Structure 1
């Protein structure tokens, strides 16, 4: 599928039946009901705030990198009317790994539920409902030349797949944290959507215990717990049972990267190399790729997202 950079067409797809989920928001601490409904091919992924009053159009927030307004420990989208939805990245990653191109996501609060801190539960719920594959197609994101962004010592590059790779997507992600349990970690994943899913879908978000109080004073992490995040103290992982997989930290950063780039609404058919990625850098790359597809000059773009 991702193996033909030029004219790389994929089938459009939506959920076969309505999906219902509920849970607490990682940052708001508010419980929200999430309903994923089938949508016609070409409609894309649209978030709809079901708790707000007014016309549906005013409460609808398309998944679009141009609508990113905040990227501090999560990706926030805001429409022209001020309606916003936050922490969309894990659900967007689930859509990406399942090939869902069209869906209406109704949320009864300002934040997508965090569930277990990974994409696992979103994927399982959608798989139970089933996936309807459309006769319509979409073209994968396959840049003709390298598209790069930088933010301090963090950088990311999207470029054509190496000749003869035979893969749909190639991810090369490196992180570095000043904690002995994390340190320097790298993961390289080459394959199709199923390969990506097996490697990153269950990887959970993480934080340091010493940062939790400060985050809550900033109005963040109010719903965070050992049930939905890996928490590290000086001795290591505090969660019962420890890590789910080797290098779970860098795998989660790869998961976030996949989810943020899926704001483009299209599958990826390229090589992505990311050094110390985060939501700001990820969404900068999404904006740069969208601009490249429109034929705009990268150097002239206002790429920085609001931190």
Structure 2
């Protein structure tokens, strides 16, 4: 099975969720073994999508270095992971990836426009070999060995629109597009003033998030899925685990997880080489994994 990139460059413009500024984004092809690379054209800085470059996980996953940072990368990375793309350059001209409609849907459309191109090099995957778990109080995120990528998420909010939600997602590109990609980020009106005082959520609106007051959902169109909230948590987790550097073959499970817990989990996995194996999908073994990335 070959590594994948995109066939041609595509671009779009959207609002940054946290800074509220228009951001131009360009997706560009890259050669084999390049990985996922972010580039800020306004600063001339590049940073790879790897755990060691994560510098903040407050409300979003942020990568950066001493030259600058790029925020809100998880929704785009979720789409890149779902499409099986191993090598791509993501160019933005500001401090974050645009939020678009708050889901991965717009990025999936960009990737459809860009088309997928196979490269000569063989694909590499990260196979979970041992259980790994991180906890904070009663919240946790963990991975277990599995023959296919699966995601199990549970959330509980004391709000009539959310309550207790659970979702089990068996990964596949079509399943991602049908079940996960359109699930939007969400938040509460009571938190907006606090977040904006801290310079966050300045671009948030009913156009790019599900917003609730104390009693109801404020979006006139309502929800896209009855359990859209927990599905979005899975979307975020897929994007955060894309930072492992290779597609993960394992079973992810979380209760009340967050970008922070997902980041701790990726670091915990990679800390001990006995936790995982990087396998190259040469022709002799690739048939066993082709269904996963179809």
Find the aligned partners of 1:69 and 1:47 in 2 and give their Cα distance. 14
CA contact (8 A) 1:168 1:192 kept: no
- Aligned residue in 1 for 2:53: 67
Find the aligned partners of 1:83 and 1:187 in 2 and give their Cα distance. 36
The yes-or-no answer on 1:184 pairing with 2:164 is: yes
Q: 1:76 aligns with which of 40, 55, 62?
A: 62
Find the aligned partners of 2:125 and 2:47 in 1 and give their Cα distance. 22
- Aligned residue in 2 for 1:23: 14
The yes-or-no answer on 1:218 pairing with 2:202 is: no
Find the aligned partners of 1:288 and 1:41 in 2 and give their Cα distance. 27
| CA displacement 1:5-61 (0-9 Å, x = unmatched) | xxxxx5311111101011110001111111111000100010111011xxx5xx101
CA contact (8 A) 2:126 2:246 kept: yes
The yes-or-no answer on 1:255 pairing with 2:235 is: yes
State the 1:120 CA deviation: 0.2
Find the aligned partners of 2:8 and 2:123 in 1 and give their Cα distance. 22
The yes-or-no answer on 1:93 pairing with 2:78 is: yes
- Aligned residue in 1 for 2:138: 153
Find the aligned partners of 2:177 and 2:234 in 1 and give their Cα distance. 11
Find the aligned partners of 1:43 and 1:200 in 2 and give their Cα distance. 27
Q: SS of the residue aligned with 2:30?
A: coil
Q: TM-score, normalised by structure 2?
A: 0.90
State the 1:141 CA deviation: 1.9
- Aligned residue in 1 for 2:291: none
Q: 1:168 to 1:135 in 2, by over 3 A?
A: farther
State the 1:191 CA deviation: 4.0
Q: SS of the residue aligned with 1:61?
A: strand
The yes-or-no answer on 1:246 pairing with 2:223 is: no
Residue-pair matches, total: 276
Where do 5+ consecutive residues of structure 1 fail to align?
1-9, 162-166, 298-307
- Aligned residue in 2 for 1:138: 123
Find the aligned partners of 2:256 and 2:32 in 1 and give their Cα distance. 35
- Aligned residue in 1 for 2:280: none
Find the aligned partners of 2:3 and 2:244 in 1 and give their Cα distance. 14
The structure 1 segments of at least 4 consecutive aligned residues displaced by more than 3 Å after TM superposition are 294-297
CA contact (8 A) 1:177 1:183 kept: yes
Q: Superposed, which structure 2 residues align to 1:281-300 within 5 Å? A: 281-292=261-272, 294-295=273-274
CA contact (8 A) 1:174 1:186 kept: yes
CA contact (8 A) 2:130 2:275 kept: no
CA contact (8 A) 1:118 1:202 kept: yes
| CA displacement 1:195-221 (0-9 Å, x = unmatched) | 233211000000011111111011100
Q: SS of the residue aligned with 1:240?
A: coil
Q: SS of the residue aligned with 2:192?
A: helix
- Aligned residue in 2 for 1:175: 155
Find the aligned partners of 2:236 and 2:175 in 1 and give their Cα distance. 16
- Aligned residue in 2 for 1:6: none
Q: SS of the residue aligned with 2:249?
A: coil
State the 1:183 CA deviation: 1.1
Q: SS of the residue aligned with 2:226?
A: coil
Where do 5+ consecutive residues of structure 2 fail to align?
277-294
Q: SS of the residue aligned with 2:235?
A: helix
